[in-house]
């Protein structure tokens, strides 16, 4: 009891604060979220995300080299394609000479030691903006899974290290794992977006990939209800059983309780996605002088580590890596 116990004693100096620090953020925890475009020349600013740009393949090569030089372990790429290439079934996602395979090869040539994570979902490629194939107004789960298998194989064949299904279709992890094994891609990892919520925090990202105007309706029939916590435990258990190597929580900061629950319950790496809306809020507040942008950015990233995340996908990765360095 006080005064024998004074918790402030260990807070008095920088050296003692560092000695007793429970969690630490390092560059090894960062995955850089990047939008690659077949229309940017060489870059195209995203209005809703100050500081974020759609990158051409040449600009992507420079970004990959920067990431590797900073020690960032991996880059997660998301495509923005010409609207003329979109159709109702997202056929461009299966193009072996399409933007994503070209982006994978560009990164591997520019930065051979950088991991490449690819989104497996159809929303950047569909005219309706949904993650799957529509049957009337309803997503056809099984037809979508068949298409996602093909998309994942295209990415693996191009040299992708981690395929990351973000669509939230039932059964897709097992189906993709089986296909990868059958085609000899035994070392291709699966990062399952196992706890992806139907959130309002995705708006700026949809602008970035060009699906915002196209999206008809919402995604509540396949993404998780923000009210639910226990349901995510079932989702993750199923995905691990089907062969997921790692799992993702999305969004990030509003769902730190989910990160904590999953990291406590399962012996697999749990990642968090600091999504576009989170990024935009920090940047907007900083631009108005309401917060110290760098300080809040680093504090937010540390919060993921404190909650139990093994790593964070974030648009802040290079900026945070420079501060950490």
> pLDDT (tens digit, 0 to 9) for every residue of the chain, 325 residues total?
999 999 999 999 999 999 999 999 999 999 999 999 999 899 999 999 999 999 999 999 999 999 999 999 999 999 999 999 999 999 999 999 999 999 999 999 999 999 999 999 999 999 999 999 999 989 999 999 999 999 999 999 999 999 999 999 999 999 999 999 999 999 999 999 999 999 999 999 988 888 776 787 789 999 999 999 999 999 999 999 999 999 999 999 999 999 999 999 999 999 999 999 999 999 999 999 999 999 999 999 999 999 999 999 999 999 999 999 8
What is the 8-class DSSP label of residue 225? P
Q: What fold characterizes domain 24-324?
A: TIM Barrel (3.20.20)
The active-site residue out of 62, 86, 105, 196 is 196
What is the 8-class DSSP label of residue 131? S
Tokens 């991996």, residue?
74
- Say whether 179 sits in a helix, a strand or coil: helix
Cα gap 45→24, rounded to integer Å: 32
Among 283, 90, 130, CA closest to 204: 283
pLDDT reported for residue 214: 72
Cα gap 233→260, rounded to integer Å: 11
Residues 6+ apart with CB under 8 A from 5: none
> What are the E-state strand segments in 140-280?
162-165, 189-196, 246-250, 270-274
The active-site residue out of 86, 219, 250, 305 is 250
Does residue 322 carry a catalytic annotation?
no
Structure tokens at 322: 């420079």
Cα gap 233→258, rounded to integer Å: 9
Cα gap 291→293, rounded to integer Å: 6
Neighbours of 200 (CB within 10 A): 11
Cα gap 35→19, rounded to integer Å: 39
- Say whether 27 sits in a helix, a strand or coil: helix
Neighbours of 244 (CB within 10 A): 25
Distance of CA 233 to the CA centre of its chain: 20
Cα gap 249→257, rounded to integer Å: 10
pLDDT reported for residue 323: 98
Which value, to the nearest 10 degrees, does the dihedral of the CA atoms of residues 39, 158, 318, 205 take?
A: 50
Structure tokens at 316: 């802040």
Does residue 85 carry a catalytic annotation?
no
Handedness of CA 296, 250, 214, 79 (dihedral sign): positive
Contact 114, 71 (CB under 8 A): no
C-alpha distances in angstroms, 1 versus 5, 7, 17, 287?
Answer: 5, 10, 21, 45
Q: Write out the H or E segment, with its range, that includes residue 195.
A: strand 189-196
pLDDT reported for residue 46: 95
Q: Residue 3: is the preceding peptide bond cis (ω within 30°)?
A: yes
Tokens 């159809």, residue?
122
Largest CA distance in the chain: 72
């Amino acid at each position: 009891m006080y005064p024998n116990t004074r918790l402030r004693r260990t807070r008095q100096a920088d050296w003692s604060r560092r000695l007793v620090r429970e969690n630490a953020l390092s560059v090894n925890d960062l995955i850089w979220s990047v939008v690659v475009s077949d229309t940017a020349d060489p870059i195209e600013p995203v209005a809703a995300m100050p500081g974020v740009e759609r990158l051409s393949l040449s600009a992507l090569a420079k970004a990959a080299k920067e990431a590797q030089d900073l020690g960032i372990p991996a880059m997660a790429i998301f495509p923005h394609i010409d609207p003329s290439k979109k159709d109702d079934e997202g056929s461009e996602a299966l193009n072996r000479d399409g933007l994503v395979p070209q982006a994978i090869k560009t990164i591997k040539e520019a930065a051979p030691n950088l991991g490449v994570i690819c989104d497996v979902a159809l929303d950047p490629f569909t005219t309706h903006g949904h993650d799957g194939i529509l049957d009337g107004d309803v997503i056809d789960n099984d037809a979508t899974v068949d298409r996602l298998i093909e998309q994942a194989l295209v990415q693996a064949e191009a040299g992708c290290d981690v395929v990351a299904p973000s669509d939230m279709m039932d059964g897709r992890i097992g189906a993709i794992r089986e296909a990868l094994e059958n085609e000899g891609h035994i070392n291709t990892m699966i990062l399952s977006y196992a706890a992806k919520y139907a959130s309002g925090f995705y708006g700026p990202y949809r602008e970035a990939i060009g699906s915002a105007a196209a999206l008809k309706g919402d995604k509540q029939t396949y993404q998780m209800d923000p009210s639910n916590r226990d349901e995510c435990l079932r989702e993750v258990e199923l995905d691990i059983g089907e062969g997921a190597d790692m799992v993702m929580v999305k969004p990030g900061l509003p769902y730190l309780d989910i990160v904590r629950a999953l990291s406590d319950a399962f012996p697999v790496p749990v990642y968090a996605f600091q999504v576009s809306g989170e990024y935009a809020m920090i940047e907007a507040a900083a631009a108005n002088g309401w917060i110290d942008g760098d300080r809040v950015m680093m504090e937010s990233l540390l919060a993921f580590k404190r909650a139990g995340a093994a790593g964070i996908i974030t648009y802040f990765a290079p900026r945070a890596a420079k501060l950490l360095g």
